[in-house]
């Protein structure tokens, strides 16, 4: 493994930590306020996702035609600015949308730099490390961010700004190199739609795009459902208790990410559908739990299956992109579909929550939809596949 992976892991860990600390700070703000309705948290999540969808035609090419290490720095500084707006009491829907802009810029460079540093042989392993460190950061960001926010919102936001800046400083040690795959001339939107057409030609690339969208839509929706479900079913009282519950989901994803490189190599991508089916089954099982430890166990198993599903999907997409439109553009394209799916899923739940849908029923429906969607996105995917060239 290229030793440059290590500063990337540290920088990504810090950035993901701050991302989730901000989210749970906003959740703490909602739970401490008597003026904000139950739909406000999924609404905040939705405005974060809008940035990914709207900026998708531009951020991939920006990452591919500039040093990805420098793009990561820009993304971190924009996210820090969004946290600063929250600190200045700007409307959270506006401030968190700016955090989403930074994340939309950051994501294609974060994943797009992996093929440059790891190569084909270690790409799944590098993705495993990135996913594992990201989920560990999510885990700690949730717990520490929620605990600090329950004590002091001001302190929590100040801390996230410091962490974002620290991530940007560490990123400066990464190599400054450009692997341009396309010219900057012409319409970015037209080029983006052509890339979509190219990616949907083969079953393998189609599975990578739709499979990733399925995972993140399910994960985002489950997280916002838990915010309402946990106080109702498990009698959770604050953001810290909800974060501690979600901890088991994060641990599961770390475990799944560690297990998957030997079980699902790139040449056997079709195997990834099996943990996706099981993830759906465990979401359904979670909807029937009514006590703490069965809920924690179900969340742990959901996370394990999710980690085993998303790591090979991400690795396949990055390799396809590196041999075609550029790994950064491929990740941006994937981000467009993933965040559009998340926006539709979370937006649908926001609408349903505003009309008083029971979170238990919403969780059951989510599990059933994930199971059916897994079947649809797996159609026509061959079991064995050589290295792709579009």
Instruction: Give residue-wise pLDDT tens across range 222-271.
Output: 988 888 888 888 887 777 788 788 888 878 887 887 887 777 776 677 78
pLDDT for 72 equals 92
The pLDDT score that the predictor gives to residue 244 is 80
Contacts of 184 (CB under 8 A, 6+ apart): 61, 65
> What residue spans of the chain are helical by DSSP H?
5-32, 40-64, 68-87, 92-112, 114-118, 123-151, 153-171, 188-199, 203-229, 239-263, 273-287, 292-322, 327-354, 359-377
Which residues in the chain show pLDDT less than 70? 1-2, 34-38, 118-124, 176-186, 266-267, 318, 321-329, 331-332, 380-390
The overall pTM is greater than 0.75: no
Q: What is the crossing angle of helices 123-151 and 292-322, to 10°?
A: 130
* Buried/exposed code over 71-100 (b: 16+ C-beta within 10 A; e: otherwise): bbbbbbebbbbbbbbbbeeeebeebbbbbb
**Could you tell me which of 26, 21, 117 has the C-alpha nearest to residue 72?**
117
- All structural domains of the chain: 5-172+186-377 (1.20.1250.20)
pLDDT in tens, 79-102: 999 999 999 988 888 999 999 999
């Amino acid at each position: 493994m290229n030793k440059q992976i290590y500063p990337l892991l540290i920088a990504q860990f810090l950035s993901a930590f701050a991302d989730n600390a901000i989210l749970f700070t906003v959740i703490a703000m909602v739970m401490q306020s008597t003026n904000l309705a139950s739909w406000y948290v999924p609404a905040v999540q939705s405005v974060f996702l809008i940035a990914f969808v709207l900026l998708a035609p531009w951020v991939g090419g920006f990452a591919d035609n500039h040093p990805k290490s420098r793009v990561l720095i820009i993304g971190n500084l924009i996210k820090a600015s969004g946290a600063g707006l929250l600190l200045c009491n700007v409307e959270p829907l506006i401030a968190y949308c700016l955090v989403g802009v930074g994340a939309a810029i950051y994501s294609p460079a974060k994943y797009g730099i992996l093929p440059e540093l790891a190569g084909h042989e270690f790409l799944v392993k590098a993705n495993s490390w990135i996913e594992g460190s990201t989920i560990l950061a999510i885990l700690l960001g949730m717990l520490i961010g929620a605990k600090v926010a329950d004590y002091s919102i001001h302190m929590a936001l100040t801390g996230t700004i410091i962490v974002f800046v620290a991530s940007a400083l560490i990123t400066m040690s990464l190599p400054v190199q450009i692997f341009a795959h396309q010219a900057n001339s012409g319409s970015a939107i037209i080029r983006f739609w052509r890339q979509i057409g190219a990616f949907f030609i083969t079953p393998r690339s189609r599975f990578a795009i739709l499979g990733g969208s399925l995972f993140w839509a399910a994960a985002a929706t489950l997280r916002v459902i838990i915010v309402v479900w946990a106080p109702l079913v498990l009698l959770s009282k604050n953001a810290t208790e909800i974060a501690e519950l979600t901890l088991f989901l994060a641990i599961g994803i770390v475990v799944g990410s560690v297990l998957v490189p030997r079980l699902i190599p790139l040449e056997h991508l079709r195997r990834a559908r099996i943990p996706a089916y099981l993830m759906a089954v465990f979401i359904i099982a979670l909807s029937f739990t009514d006590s703490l430890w069965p809920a924690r166990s179900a969340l742990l198993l959901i996370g394990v299956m999710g980690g085993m599903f998303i790591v090979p999907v991400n690795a396949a997409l990055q390799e396809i992109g590196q041999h075609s439109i550029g790994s950064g553009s491929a990740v941006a394209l994937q981000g467009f579909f993933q965040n559009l799916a998340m926006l539709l899923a979370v937006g649908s739940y926001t609408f349903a929550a505003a009309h008083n849908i029971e979170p238990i029923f919403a969780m059951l429906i989510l599990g059933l939809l994930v199971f059916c969607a897994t079947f649809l996105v797996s159609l026509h995917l061959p079991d064995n596949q050589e290295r792709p060239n579009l």
